[in-house]
A and B are shown apart, each in its own frame.
Chain A
Amino acid sequence: MSSVSVKNLEVRFGEHAVLKNLDIDIKSGEFLVLLGSSGCGKSTLLNTIAGLIEPSGGTISIEDRDVTHEDPSKRGLAMVFQSYALYPKMSVRGNLGFSLRVNRVPKAERNKRVEEVARFLQITELLDRRPAQLSGGQRQRVAIGRALVREAKVFMFDEPLSNLDAKLRAELRVEIKRLHRSVGNTMIYVTHDQVEALTLADRIAVMKDGIIQQLGSPEDIYDRPRNRYVAGFIGTPRMNFIGGELLVEQQGVPMFKAEAFGFSLEGYDFEKYPTQASAVELGIRPELLTIVDADHASAKVRATVDLTEMLGAESIIWCDVAGQQIAVLVQGKPGVKPGDTIGMAFDPATASLFDAASGLRL
């Protein structure tokens, strides 16, 4: 059963269409992450599903019920905001119980539910404090608590960790994952942080310019990016791109040919087997390159070391390959020094080929 289903959605702000013909189906119990840089429409999509923005076309259904024009509070959703949006003049108890108060739940039951949620989130001792007296992490927990109290079917998170420092962010990320496992609700999570997306998501929707570029599991998105944008967006250091030409011969395997070098693409899993030559870009992740001797048999490319960065557990080696900059991620210390000539080896099966004109995966 699909939990949230969006069909043909269009959102306009004046003349400008922020979302165009957008379709997405979110499965029940799924953790879906909307990922993209700012202005890509991910928050607009979330707010539209929530009912805080009126769409100019299309439909939104939640648990097979059309809610396109329903009031936000009637949709059975709960939302956690980036700034937590706690009500500053109410105690934590008041914040947690506000939705129940609005819906005229009797006081005794209200208190019971608030206490339960507080115990679950381990914030019982904070119940009588004001939001201003809480730390960032505690506020975050109260904001989540507010969603839990409502027993919503779908939880939505709008960049909930962006305001926190790196250490706390890592802690709460784990906590959100644990929360998902223990309550099992459908969750929609908006972020621009790819680490959050890759670690939390069952599926990621990478968005750009109001269009979902790719929807798939974190592995899918990372290993088989559907276009040049997704490939470049996910992964640090960024995927290496080398411009060149795809040569197709009558017999034998297709070849990749750049100005100064070329190699066979044996083992590469084409989306559609090429029949003619075309301009392409080859993408290869820095950790999939291995450094070998310059004249080793497996060396596909020769390179000059430009710069090395030691990160502790791993190192980045920046190389120059016929005028193009290529990063190699190796475990441990760099092992080479600037000026060295090295060879690079990799398995073509792990690379990605993109059409130079359309940017689509080949």
Chain B
Amino acid sequence: MTDAQTSAQARPTPHVKDNAIIRFENITKRFGKMVAVDNVTLNIQEGEFFALLGPSGCGKTTLLRMLAGFETPTEGRVLIDGKDVAALPPNKRPVNMVFQSYAVFPHMKVADNVGYGLKMDGVDGGEIKRRVEEALELVKLDGLGARMPDQLSGGQRQRVALARALVKRPRVLLLDEPLSALDAKLRDQMRSELTSLQEKVGITFIMVTHDQDEALAIATRCAVMHRGVLTQVATPADLYEFPNSRFVADFVGSVNMFEGVLEKDEQNEAQVRCKELSAPVYLDHGVTGARGSTVWVALRPEKIEMHKRAEGSTPMKMEDAPAGANVVPGIIRDIVYLGSETNFEVELEGGRRVKTFRSNLTRYDQEDFTWDEPVWLAWHACSPAVLLS
């Protein structure tokens, strides 16, 4: 666990081959003075379900559209299967796209929509018919080939778009915000269907999304983008547990962030003192930062324990930290009951408020925390993430 903090390396995913099918090399895209993508270098392996994650306007869609051929990079190269595709127009690239609006041709029947790409490739009629049926079956739309798109629901239209792209057997399937236009129930269902579909067809999927839940749930690997810059590329678990910057920690999931000074940094332990925390933050691993430098401690709400505190009692001790570390006193200021869990907002000495969750393990809480109750907040030595930027 020594340097797990700063090197959030991707863990191997079994069905991913070690073969970069897509390679972005120092890609920069400017629209006038605005820099949409700033010197991005990124490899995507064959068989991955890759997510480009970031807030709107971060350049993720531009990156995807460069892959499809709808935007041309200002600088840098895009390689598909090791070949520079700069000279290839969209219709000659071995990638296909599922558009955010689905872009199902409203004037063509479902079967004609799905068969459109094959017709363009000069595939003969019988073969088109067979493959269209196969593709419709794959997305569970069998029998709807004769419908017009306006007779379909939003979810079905998306399946048409999926079938239409997959039927061409592309090397890579591009999905632009695939779930954003669906309602919540349908979105959950589609998430698992996309995953199983990808495993079934074995094609590399690249998805653009601003929804971190979606990315964590579906992707085998994610790239987080912020203002055109690639901030972190990692598996969903690493992204959540080992963020490499304040932006990633804050964007992916919910977090309590404290600014502090690195007091100690050894091979197997480190300590940070934060102004807003009355106790030092102790860690059971090193962080490879300079002593005395400013760092940030990120503490996920679910990683904070909450215990009753009697007035005037001595601080409790965490078993994996020195006495006095990783434990701070506070007062519950707000409680939000959410059914499966309850959110608490605890005010520390000095006024800083900290979020924490408690799962509702039983039907009524034995401890019965209530408003304005004094509590201890405590965390394990391996729970906080120390961020250098």
> Is this pair of chains taken from one and the same complex?
no
